[in-house]
């Protein structure tokens, strides 16, 4: 059987009830803040921003890696251009621009 005797005084019981009410009021206030629409929207925005920041960070790392790899193809370890690789690409670019210019001229004329 359970012991139902309580040795607390009425003042102690009232003080305990008062403390429990204060704790309950604080808990309800916290719940109210958490379920408030502004809080929910703010939390959602923070999650989206964190995800975007993470995604952009990963993209930046990947782009930086690609740029570094491409740069290594056209520049030697001392920073000088590798002419055997730069010249063919430059000539190709000039040729493409020239063909585009000719195509545009023919359409106008």
What does the pLDDT profile of the chain (109 residues) look like in tens digits?
Answer: 556 677 999 999 999 999 999 999 999 999 999 999 999 999 999 999 999 999 999 999 999 999 999 888 889 888 898 889 889 989 999 999 999 988 887 776 5
Please give the Cα distance from 74 to 93 (Å, whole number). Answer: 15
- Residue 16 and residue 6 in contact, taking contact as beta carbons nearer than 8 Å: no
Residues 45, 54: Cα–Cα separation, whole Å: 14
Distance CA 7, CA 52 (A): 60
Residue 33 · residue 39 · CB < 8 Å: yes
* Domains of the chain, residue spans: 10-74, 81-109
- How many alpha carbons lie under 13 Å from residue 97 in its C-beta half-sphere? 6
DSSP state of 1: -
């Amino acid at each position: 059987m359970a012991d139902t005797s309580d040795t607390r005084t009425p003042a102690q019981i009232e003080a305990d009830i008062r403390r429990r009410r204060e704790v309950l009021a604080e808990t309800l206030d916290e719940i109210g803040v958490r379920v408030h629409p502004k809080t929910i929207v703010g939390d959602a925005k923070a999650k989206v921003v964190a995800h975007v920041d993470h995604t952009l960070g990963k993209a930046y790392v990947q782009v930086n890696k690609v740029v570094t790899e491409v740069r290594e193809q056209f520049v030697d370890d001392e920073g000088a251009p590798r002419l055997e690789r730069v010249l063919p690409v430059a000539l190709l670019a000039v040729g493409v621009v020239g063909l585009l210019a000719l195509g545009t001229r023919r359409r106008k004329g």
